Amino acid sequence: MRELIGVEEARRLVLGAAAVLPAEPVGLDEALGRTLAAPVVSGGPVPAFASSAMDGFAVRTADLASLPITLPVAAEVAAGAVPERPVEAGTVVRIMTGAPVPEGADAVVPVEWTAEAGMGRVRIERAPEPGRHVRPAGEDLHAGEVVLRAGQVVTPPVVGMLAALGEVRVVVRRVPRVAVVTTGDELVPASATPAFGQLRDSNGPALAAQVRAAGGTPLGPFHAADALDALHAVLPGAREADVLVFSGGVSMGDHDLVRVVLEEAGWTPCFWRVRQRPGKPLAFGTLDGVPVFGLPGNPVSSFVCFEQYVRPLLAALLGRAEVRRPLVSAVLDAPIRKAAGLHHFVRAVARWGEDGRLYVRPSGPQGSNLYASVLRADGLIHLPEAADDPPAGSVVAFEPLGW
């Protein structure tokens, strides 16, 4: 087992344990937030027919060489209707927005450019150039065009496009099931009133919410006291998951028993401890091929480790095109003290400066027990191991959290 490794090596080892989950079809109304398992190709042009972009009159522009001109209205076509006749020379067809453009017409004259002339005729005072105010067939998509790629997350616009293509059954990756197991004698449910020395369990609900935000579904809730029999009792239920996440019990104290129980269950350890702050006592391995994380119990450390390692793993299980959030450049608003040899994840707030640049600063005290700094944070500043204390004005890498 590797010990005290770097952040990038730890992330590489975690992603190396990912096997893409199988695909399944779902209805369009269930697809939001899921991940496409196959590309989607347009079966025909979108739109399928040329339509009017305006209320007005479908015309042959060759008839409008001399203006103003009064022409008979030979027919009318509304949205959803089929034109009954082509536009013949010397005539026009009244047309509504979205209606199919009749054969023979090569432009639409907006109603604002016309005046009723009586006796079923219209006076045209301005002439459009050919093609004006006509939405051509295939203007949005061509037949055979790859519209959506495997690995894309289904967003509301994706739902709209799938509906436009008639794709009412969508092939997506199965949602990863994640067992979140909190540990500790000091924890009580969030609904309880803690006695002196006790704490409400915030990690369980927070990690379950992070699982959902990352595209997974949490199993449980599971909680175990700091005792071997308690941990053994929750393990069978937790092992039904695609990923196991333990919170607490992975450090070096007498009551840190998670690794002991995992070893007795036959897990294959991969690494323990990462050169980072917060979250140094992070453990990772597999149990019968299932990825297992041992996150530190401090709430900030638990949060950061999930975002840096568990979230990318879930994205890889889903076959997503992007497994990590992109980093952007930002300018420090305030200096930061940094420990040598550790990669720091600094909870930070962001603002746009008048110069158009992004500015960031710590969201508050950075102790790993101070969860309010997470609540206020817009993202995480990444300070690599080799970096010294960065002064104000330094350009740093910033990871927006996205919520």
* pTM, two decimal places: 0.90
Identical fold for domains 2-21+175-317 and 328-400, yes or no, is no
Three-state secondary structure string covering 24-42: EEEEHHHCCCCEECCCEEC
What fold does the segment set 24-46+144-173 form as a domain? Molybdopterin biosynthesis moea protein, domain 2 (3.90.105)
pLDDT of residue 251: 65
Q: What is the pLDDT of residues 298-315, one digit of tens each?
A: 999 999 999 999 999 999
Which tokens belong to 331?
């300018």
Q: What is the pLDDT of residues 45-68, one digit of tens each?
A: 999 999 999 999 999 999 999 999
- The whole-angstrom separation of Cα 10 and Cα 4 is 9
What would the CATH number be for the domain defined by 51-135? 2.170.190.11
Which tokens belong to 23?
């695909």
Q: What is the pLDDT of residues 260-282, one digit of tens each?
A: 899 999 999 999 999 999 999 99
What fold does the segment set 328-400 form as a domain? Beta-clip (2.40.340)
Q: How many CB atoms lie within 10 A of CB 9?
A: 13
Q: Which residues fall within 8 angstroms of residue 180, CB to CB, at 6 or more apart?
A: 204, 207, 208, 211, 218, 219, 220, 221, 222, 245, 247
* Rounded CA Rg of the chain: 31
Does pLDDT of 91 surpass 60?
yes
- The whole-angstrom separation of Cα 345 and Cα 11 is 14
Domain boundaries, the chain: 2-21+175-317, 24-46+144-173, 51-135, 328-400
Mean pLDDT value across the chain? 95
- The whole-angstrom separation of Cα 109 and Cα 114 is 8
Q: What is the pLDDT of residues 212-260, one digit of tens each?
A: 999 999 998 899 998 999 999 999 999 999 999 999 877 655 557 888 8
Calculate mean pLDDT across residues 342-371: 96
Angle formed at CA 386 by CA 382 and CA 388, multiple of 5 degrees: 80
Q: 15-24, 255-264, 323-332 — which is least confidently predicted?
A: 255-264
pLDDT of residue 255: 57
Percent of the chain with pLDDT over 70: 99
Q: 93-107, 250-264, 380-394 — which is least confidently predicted?
A: 250-264
**Domain 2-21+175-317 bears CATH identifier 3.40.980.10:** yes
pLDDT of residue 254: 53
Calculate mean pLDDT across residues 155-183: 97
